[in-house]
């Protein structure tokens, strides 16, 4: 296997070299990619066009793909692909306050994808079709280092605690107006509880938190939220961050078990940002 991983920034994230886009996705490649993701948290493939079919194939190499509940956000030929775009179906860029824009702006909060599920997703793959010249970067924060370097008093304060993650809560707190969820919809997303400190299969530990978190289990609401803010601020300092400046044809894969990410603002109602996303379902509950 001739794959090489070149480290990106702050000893976090790596760019993959030597992956021919036409190469068969066999067991050897899958193992190398999975090991790379475990080690680096974020992987970047740059400079090669990836077709929608190939994107789905690459995603499947990591596991089963989630299919989004909203059909209008799916790629017309590949339901596994989520068209993450500020360009409407009619070809026009969205208005700042319309639901498509509000939804996208929701990703400007630090979060980890689908942490509101009992078994949250494993990793997300985002492929850039069109990107703005400036703004619209994606920041990733390494929750292994963040936990390792968390001040001792904060570590003590969160030890053994669990966080309540709720889609109903994060939707309600989305920046911008969003249609309130019907009670029927709300029932589909019961709040879940995950440990604040997550243990991984290889024995390492990371922080597990982010924008879907509503509160600390068993703690006074306000006190808990203050603690969450304090830990989040400590965990997202620049030394834990890789900021990705997108170029067209970039594919970025991130491990949602051990990283947080957020979109940086851009002129959402003026500049086109067209991305294709696949999400690999998780297999293990959060421990
Ligand atoms: C996502 C996400 C951020 C971005 O796709 O889960 O948060 O930069 N995207 O588009
Ligand atoms: Mn996300």
Assign 211 to helix, strand or coil.
coil
Q: Cα 94 vs. chain centroid, distance in angstroms?
A: 23
Give the pLDDT mean for 10-22.
91
Q: Is residue 247 part of a domain?
A: yes
Q: Is residue 222 part of a domain?
A: yes
Give the pLDDT mean for 156-169.
97
Ligand 1 pocket test: which of 120, 262, 278 has the largest number of ligand atoms within 8 Å of its C-beta?
Answer: 262
Give the pLDDT mean for 239-268.
98
Give the pLDDT mean for 263-286.
96
Residue-level pLDDT at 22: 85
Q: How far is the CA of 5 from the centre of ligand 2 (A)?
A: 24
Q: How far is the CA of 221 from the centre of ligand 1 (A)?
A: 28
Q: How far is the CA of 156 from the centre of ligand 1 (A)?
A: 32
What is the extent of the structural domain holding 179? 4-280
CA nearest neighbour of 125 among 39, 29, 254, 243: 254
The CATH number assigned to the domain holding 78 equals 3.60.130.10
pLDDT in tens, 134-148: 999 999 999 999 999
Checking if the pLDDT of 285 tops 70, the result is yes
Which ligand has the minimum distance to the alpha carbon of residue 84?
1
Q: Is residue 213 part of a domain?
A: yes
Checking if the pLDDT of 185 tops 90, the result is no
Model confidence at 175, pLDDT cuts 50, 70, 90, reads confident
Question: Which ligand 1 atom minimizes the distance to the CA of 126?
Answer: 5
Domain count, the chain: 1
β-strand pairing of 42-45 with 12-17: parallel
pLDDT in tens, 114-141: 999 999 999 999 999 999 999 999 999 9
* Sheet strands (E) in 226-266: 241-244, 251-255, 259-263
Residue-level pLDDT at 1: 61
Q: How far is the CA of 91 from the centre of ligand 2 (A)?
A: 24
Q: Is residue 287 part of a domain?
A: no
Q: Cα 104 vs. chain centroid, distance in angstroms?
A: 13
Q: Is residue 219 part of a domain?
A: yes
Ligand 1: lining residues by beta carbon, under 6 Å: 84, 107, 113, 124, 126, 138, 261, 263, 275, 277
Please list all protein residues whose beta carbon sits less than 5 angstroms from ligand 2, which is an ion. Answer: 107, 113
pLDDT in tens, 206-230: 999 999 999 999 999 999 999 999 9
| Sequence-ordered list of residues with C-beta below 8 angstroms from that of 260, at least 6 positions apart, any chain | 110, 111, 112, 140, 141, 143, 209, 210, 235, 236
Give the pLDDT mean for 43-56.
95
Q: Is residue 286 part of a domain?
A: no
**What values do phi and psi take at 119, rounded to 5?**
-115, 95
Q: Is residue 205 part of a domain?
A: yes
Residue-level pLDDT at 238: 97
Question: Which ligand 1 atom minimizes the distance to the CA of 107?
Answer: 7
Ligand 1 pocket test: which of 84, 124, 128 has the largest number of ligand atoms within 8 Å of its C-beta?
Answer: 84
Q: Is residue 85 part of a domain?
A: yes
Residue-level pLDDT at 2: 78
């Amino acid at each position: 296997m001739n794959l090489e991983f070149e480290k990106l920034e702050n000893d976090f994230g790596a760019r993959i070299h030597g992956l021919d886009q036409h190469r068969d996705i066999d067991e050897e490649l899958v193992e190398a990619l999975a090991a790379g993701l475990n080690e680096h948290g974020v992987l970047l493939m740059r400079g090669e066009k990836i077709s929608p079919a190939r994107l789905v194939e690459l995603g499947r190499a990591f596991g089963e793909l989630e299919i989004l509940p909203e059909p209008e956000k799916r790629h017309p030929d590949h339901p596994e692909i989520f068209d993450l775009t500020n360009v409407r179906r009619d070809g026009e860029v969205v208005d700042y306050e319309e639901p498509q824009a509000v939804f996208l702006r929701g990703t400007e909060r630090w979060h980890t994808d689908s942490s509101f599920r009992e078994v949250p997703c494993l990793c997300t793959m985002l492929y850039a079709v069109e990107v703005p010249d400036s703004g619209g970067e994606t920041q990733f924060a390494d929750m292994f280092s963040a936990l390792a370097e968390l001040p001792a008093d904060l570590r003590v304060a969160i030890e053994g605690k669990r966080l309540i993650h709720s889609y109903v809560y994060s939707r309600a707190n989305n920046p911008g107006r969003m249609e309130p969820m019907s009670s029927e919809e709300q029932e589909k997303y019961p709040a879940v509880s995950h440990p604040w400190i997550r243990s991984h299969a290889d024995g390492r530990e990371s922080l597990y938190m982010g924008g879907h978190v509503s509160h600390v289990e068993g703690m006074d609401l306000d006190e808990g939220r203050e603690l969450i803010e304090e830990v989040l601020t400590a965990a997202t300092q620049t030394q834990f961050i890789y900021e990705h400046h997108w170029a067209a044809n970039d594919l970025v894969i991130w491990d949602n078990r051990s990283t947080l990410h957020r979109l940086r603002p851009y002129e959402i109602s003026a500049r086109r940002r067209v991305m294709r996303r696949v999400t690999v379902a998780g297999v293990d509950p959060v421990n």
